């Protein structure tokens, strides 16, 4: 078992991490009170997984509120709702200290891989698919305002 070291190019908003949230309303040291958001709830162990909480809220906003994965067609309906959302939370940094980006596009170069990036084609895709609109809609559903002024291409890494 090895350690992955990946590079990720994502289009979206850097939201920060538990150590320093990059959101309007964050305190002097980057602390943020998620308790004001109905979607940020603890599981039975008293823990909240940021990625799961965000994605559950966004899926619900797109009509998917199912929780029983054993029901026929569950995963197909979930994939359809995820496609309709058009955004996801991308974790970067490391599994032990994750940082988060709300992203409409993710390109990963895995260790040992090399990718060619055509930014003109990516920018055309972003306009045609409406990445900015999807990201703004997701932020509105979540009630979050990043300190980043607009969505951008962000290069980040993952070690884990």
Q: Any residues with CB less than 8 A from the CB of 142 and at least 6 apart, and which?
A: 37, 39, 54, 57, 58
**Helix, strand or coil, per DSSP, at residue 107:** strand
pLDDT-derived band at 87 (thresholds 50, 70, 90) equals very high
**pLDDT at site 1:** 52
Report yes or no: 82 and 74 within 8 Å, Cβ to Cβ.
no
Checking if the pLDDT of 139 tops 80, the result is: yes
Q: How many CB atoms lie within 10 A of CB 6?
A: 15
Checking if the pLDDT of 32 tops 80, the result is: yes
Domain that holds residue 155: 5-159
Q: What percent of the chain has pLDDT over 90?
A: 72
* β-bridge pairing 152-159 and 5-17: antiparallel
66/72 Cα distance (integer angstroms): 11
**Taking all residues of the chain, what is their mean pLDDT, rounded to a whole number?**
92
Which pTM was predicted? Answer: 0.90
Largest Cα span, the chain: 48
Q: How many domains does the chain have?
A: 1
Cα angle 139, 141, 146 (rounded to 5 degrees) comes to 20
SS (H, E, C) the chain: CCCCEEEEEEEEEEEEECCEECECCCCCCCCCCHHHCCCCCCCCCCCCCHHHHHHHHHHHHCCCCCCCCCCCCHHHHHHHHHHHHCCEEEEEEECCCEEEEEEEEEEEECCCCCCCCCHHHHHHHHHHHCHHHHHHHHHHHHCCCECCCCCEEEEEEEEC
State the DSSP H helix or E strand holding residue 11, giving kind and residue range, or none if neither: strand 5-17
């Amino acid at each position: 078992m090895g350690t992955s070291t990946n590079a990720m190019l994502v289009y979206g908003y850097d939201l920060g991490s538990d150590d320093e949230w990059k959101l309007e309303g964050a305190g002097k040291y980057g602390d943020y009170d998620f308790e004001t958001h109905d979607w940020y709830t603890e599981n039975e162990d008293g823990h909240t997984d940021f990625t799961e909480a965000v994605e559950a809220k966004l899926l619900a906003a797109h009509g998917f509120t199912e929780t029983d994965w054993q029901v026929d067609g569950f995963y197909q309906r979930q994939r359809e709702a995820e496609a309709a959302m058009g955004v996801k939370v991308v974790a970067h940094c490391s599994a032990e200290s994750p940082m988060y980006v709300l992203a409409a596009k993710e390109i990963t170069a895995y260790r040992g891989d090399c990718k060619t990036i055509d930014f003109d084609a990516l920018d055309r895709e972003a306009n045609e698919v409406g990445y900015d609109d999807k990201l703004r809609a997701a932020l509105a559903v979540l009630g979050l305002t990043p300190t980043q002024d607009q969505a951008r291409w962000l290069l980040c890494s993952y070690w884990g």
